[in-house]
Amino acid sequence: ETGVTQTPRHLVMGMTNKKSLKCEQHLGHNAMYWYKQSAKKPLELMFVYNFKEQTENNSVPSRFSPECPNSSHLFLHLHTLQPEDSALYLCASSLVRTGNEKLFFGSGTQLSVL
Amino acid sequence: AQKITQTQPGMFVQEKEAVTLDCTYDTSDQSYGLFWYKQPSSGEMIFLIYQGSYDEQNATEGRYSLNFQKARKSANLVISASQLGDSAMYFCAMREGENDSNYQLIWGAGTKLIIKP
């Protein structure tokens, strides 16, 4: 248990559906992240929020929409996804201070787009 | 060019033997940090060990140590006395620069380690 909780653990959705992934951390961290992990590819950073402000958006398609209402919660809203969006979506958090902070990850949401 | 290279896609190791997982990196920055994470089948990434580029000694955390060879740009993970629970994917990652607002970790493709009883 790392202190980062993601729900749901598994999600199957059609291309016309709208769904949301949720992430919650109770570690007192000030930064939260969404990563995408596809088979046989390195982790891809999607979004970063620092003190609720989005500081990174790595050219992610607009069908992915993040939301960070407070420093403990992070959402990823999904709509009109494509089959190639099927992947493990990992949330992480950290306490940003000196640059060597480790990330604490959730267990991820395994997303399948049909 | 890849910034983080893990040349071993998979490894089988006998229980209780030591394991070395390779990681080479490419950066022109003088200040950077190197991380190793473990990902068991449950999915979550677990931090194992960190090495800063200015750290003179190799990092150690329990059974984990990092063989840091700066001139060769390698940061191999060594697991002593492997256990069945060590079976997992292992990822090497790097953060470049001194700017503490640089949130980007550059990740390797990972090595799948299987410990045989």
Looking at residue A88, its pLDDT comes to 96
Looking at residue B88, its pLDDT comes to 97
Looking at residue A100, its pLDDT comes to 64
Looking at residue A97, its pLDDT comes to 65
Decide if A96 touches B, using CB distance below 8 A. yes
Does the structure show a pLDDT above 60 at A12? yes
Average pLDDT over residues A27-34: 91
Interface A–B counts its CB contacts (< 8 A) at 68
Average pLDDT over residues B61-73: 96
What distance in Å separates the CA atoms of residue B95 and residue A68, rounded to the nearest whole number?
Answer: 24
What distance in Å separates the CA atoms of residue A50 and residue B24, rounded to the nearest whole number?
Answer: 30
**Do residue A110 and residue B43 have CB atoms under 8 angstroms apart?**
yes
Distances (CA, A) of A3 to A28, A51, A94, B71: 10, 18, 11, 37
**Do residue B45 and residue A50 have CB atoms under 8 angstroms apart?**
no
The mean predicted confidence, pLDDT, of chain A is 89
Looking at residue A87, its pLDDT comes to 96
A27: left (phi over 0), alpha (psi -120 to 50) or beta: alpha
Decide if B108 touches A, using CB distance below 8 A. yes
For residues B95 and B105, the answer to whether their CB atoms sit within 8 Å is yes
For residues B35 and B105, the answer to whether their CB atoms sit within 8 Å is yes
Average pLDDT over residues A64-87: 94
SS3 string of B8-77? CCEEEEECCCCEEECCEECCCCCCEEEEEEEECCCCCCEEEEEEECCCCCCCEECCEEEEEECCCCEEEE
pLDDT range class, residue A50, cuts 50, 70, 90: confident
What distance in Å separates the CA atoms of residue B43 and residue A22, rounded to the nearest whole number?
Answer: 16
User: Which residue among B52, B104, B109 sits closest to A100, beta carbon to beta carbon?
Assistant: B52
Does the structure show a pLDDT above 70 at B78? yes
Please report residues of A whose CB lies closer than 8 A to that of B37. 103, 105
Average pLDDT over residues A86-103: 84
Percent of chain A with pLDDT over 90: 67
Does the structure show a pLDDT above 70 at B103? no
First-to-final CA distance of chain A: 31
Q: In chain B, which among 78-107 make CB contacts under 8 A with chain A?
A: 91, 93, 95, 97-107
Does the structure show a pLDDT above 60 at A32? yes
Does the structure show a pLDDT above 90 at B76? yes
Does the structure show a pLDDT above 70 at A2? no
What distance in Å separates the CA atoms of residue B86 and residue A38, rounded to the nearest whole number?
Answer: 22
Looking at residue B115, its pLDDT comes to 97
- The minimum CA-CA distance between B81 and chain A, rounded to whole Å, is 24
Residue ranges in A1-114 assigned as alpha helix (H): none
Looking at residue B102, its pLDDT comes to 59
Looking at residue B100, its pLDDT comes to 53
* Strand partners of residue A113: A13
Residue of A nearest to B96 (CA): A99
Determine how β-strand A53-57 pairs with β-strand A64-70.
Answer: unpaired
Does the structure show a pLDDT above 80 at A96? no
Determine the residue among B68, B103, B104, B107 to mutate to test chain A binding: the one whose Cβ has the most chain A Cβ atoms within 10 Å.
Answer: B103
Question: By three-state DSSP, how is residue A85 classified?
Answer: helix
- The minimum CA-CA distance between A17 and chain B, rounded to whole Å, is 25
